[in-house]
Structure 1
Amino acid sequence: MPRVGEILGTWDCRVEAGKLREFARAVGDTSWRDDTVTAPPTFTVACSAEFVERLVTEILPVDRSRTVHGSQSYEYLAPIRAGDRLHGEARLLSDEIKTGRRGGTMRVIRVAIEYRNADTSAPVCREIMTTIETEAAGR
């Protein structure tokens, strides 16, 4: 089981104009136009999708029938534009068992993803995601 502070995965992502268009349509971003080169605000979720799948099925396996996405926050340090190459690195911030307000326990997992420009190493974006797995019935 990974420890707090451990790097859980790394990957690269090319920001393509067509993917920006598809993402904007998928999230209903009506302000995005075909001549826009800046990524919609939550575009990095498309870059981390494969990692997140591995996270919940292999790295920190959770029971999806008892798991909810608790929160997601983004801190942008530079614009993400078509043509950029991003390097993502995910790190475990915490993995704790807490008592729920209605009794029972829940596992609360927090992961930070740092994106850097792959060509310059300049920081671009930091995401923090929280995943909550509730206690199995009958425990």
Structure 2
Amino acid sequence: MSKVMDLIGLELSPYSYSVDKVKIKEFAEAIGDLNPIYFNEEAARQEGYDGIPIPLTFLQVIDMWGGYSFMEKCHILGLNPVKILHGEQEYKFVKPIYANDVLTVKGKVDEVNIKKGSSGGMNIITLKFEYHNQVNELVAVSTNVTIDRH
């Protein structure tokens, strides 16, 4: 069996992240989404939210600032950083995530596929992360695919 197949089921140490309304604002500005719900709690409540919500791709910020760096992830998975590509990202939201929520994120290697091609092989590694809020409710799941070229 390939060494990379041993990664299936590997659990990453959980981490926590406090969702900050300043980071939400910075992110919304960076992506050019000037919807007032990301800047003003009253505007968010008028639109039916319980507080300032996160933009849909904000989970990437949570992973970047609270989770594992690119190099840490490579080290944990035993990958050469110059030979990997980000293949795919998917987010599933179960409940809204708001400013001031404190999230605990748990991740694991969900699947590994080995592909052969004319220019060499690839290990396709799927990681799944679950995001729970401060009352332990599952609020989101992200799935990302890393391609390890060999």
Same fold (TM over 0.5): yes
Of 35, 39, 52 in structure 2, the residue corresponding to residue 34 of structure 1 is 39
Question: Which residue does 2:27 correspond to in 1?
Answer: 23
Following TM superposition, the consecutive aligned residue runs of length 4 or more in structure 1 with deviations greater than 3 angstroms are none
Higher relative helix content:
2
Alignment size in residue pairs: 132
- Report the aligned-residue RMSD: 1.8
- Cα distance between partner residues in 1 of 2:58 and 2:110: 22
Percent of residue pairs bearing the same amino acid type: 27
Structure 2 unaligned regions, length at least 5: 45-51
Structure 1 unaligned regions, length at least 5: none
Partner amino acid for 2:143? I
Partner amino acid for 1:27? I
Question: Which residue does 1:110 correspond to in 2?
Answer: 126
Question: Which residue does 1:73 correspond to in 2?
Answer: 90
Please list, as runs of the form range in 1=range in 2, the aligned pairs for 1:1-139 lying within 5 A after superposition.
3-31=7-35, 33-35=38-40, 36=44, 37-49=52-64, 50-53=67-70, 54-56=72-74, 58-100=75-117, 102-117=118-133, 119-135=134-150
- Cα distance between partner residues in 2 of 1:81 and 1:44: 12
